[in-house]
Amino acid sequence: MIRYEEKNPTVDEFNYLTKKVGWGIRDKEVVKEALNNTIYSICVYDEQNIIGYGRIIGDKTIFLYIQDIMVIPEFQGKKIGTSIMENILKKVNELKIKNPNIRTYLGASEGKEKFYKKFGFITRKEAKLGEAMILK
Ligand SMILES: CC(C)(COP(=O)(O)OP(=O)(O)OC[C@H]1O[C@@H](n2cnc3c(N)ncnc32)[C@H](O)[C@@H]1OP(=O)(O)O)[C@@H](O)C(=O)NCCC(=O)NCCS
């Protein structure tokens, strides 16, 4: 039985998921602070076990950033990622009521663009904006 909960995962749950999707784990204090600074979190459970997650970070008014969309490999391809995104976009739309011009970003990992295009995301190039950049 799959269920969705709008709450932060525990630090151990977050590290479990990032490890399962191949992103490794982080220092527990770092994860704790990151989760505390999160605007919105959606967790997915199969019975008592976390199997998926997604979150929104940002300033709630001008910029939002969708981050850490994860479904563990055993549950991928079952539309759980889609449901995570639908919950996240519902929250984005709620925030848009107060601030209609809010801009929502995400950084698709290589090869994951198709997944996000389904929800209306376009590349910065398609939006005729400059390339996204990252500090190395
Ligand atoms: C990307 C991810 C969240 C998708 O979750 P999921 O539950 O497997 O996806 P869904 O079953 O909801 O798939 C929805 C659609 O996206 C497409 N899709 C799913 N995973 C994809 C991938 N890795 N690459 C391209 N398209 C993908 C599917 O083909 C599906 O299309 P369809 O509706 O035409 O069948 C999941 O594969 C994952 O956690 N991957 C590892 C972590 C990661 O890379 N996260 C994204 C960071 S940007």
Report the pLDDT value the prediction gives residue 58, as an integer from 0 to 100.
Answer: 98
Least confident interval from 49-53, 78-82, 89-93, 108-112:
108-112
Domains and CATH numbers, the chain: 2-117 (3.40.630.30)
Q: Mean of the per-residue pLDDT values for the chain?
A: 97
The percent of residues in the chain predicted with pLDDT above 90, rounded, is: 100
User: What's the CA-to-centroid distance between 39 and ligand 1, angstroms?
Assistant: 23
Q: Is 3 exposed, middle or buried (0-12, 13-18, 19+ CB in 10 A)?
A: exposed
What's the average model confidence in pLDDT over 87-104?
A: 97
Does residue 39 line the site of ligand 1, with CB under 6 A? no
DSSP-assigned letters across all residues of 19-45: HHTT-----HHHHHHHHHT-SEEEEEE
Alpha helices per DSSP H over 2-136: 11-20, 28-36, 80-98, 113-117
Does residue 28 line the site of ligand 1, with CB under 6 A? no
pLDDT per residue over 39-63, tens digit each? 999 999 999 999 999 999 999 999 9
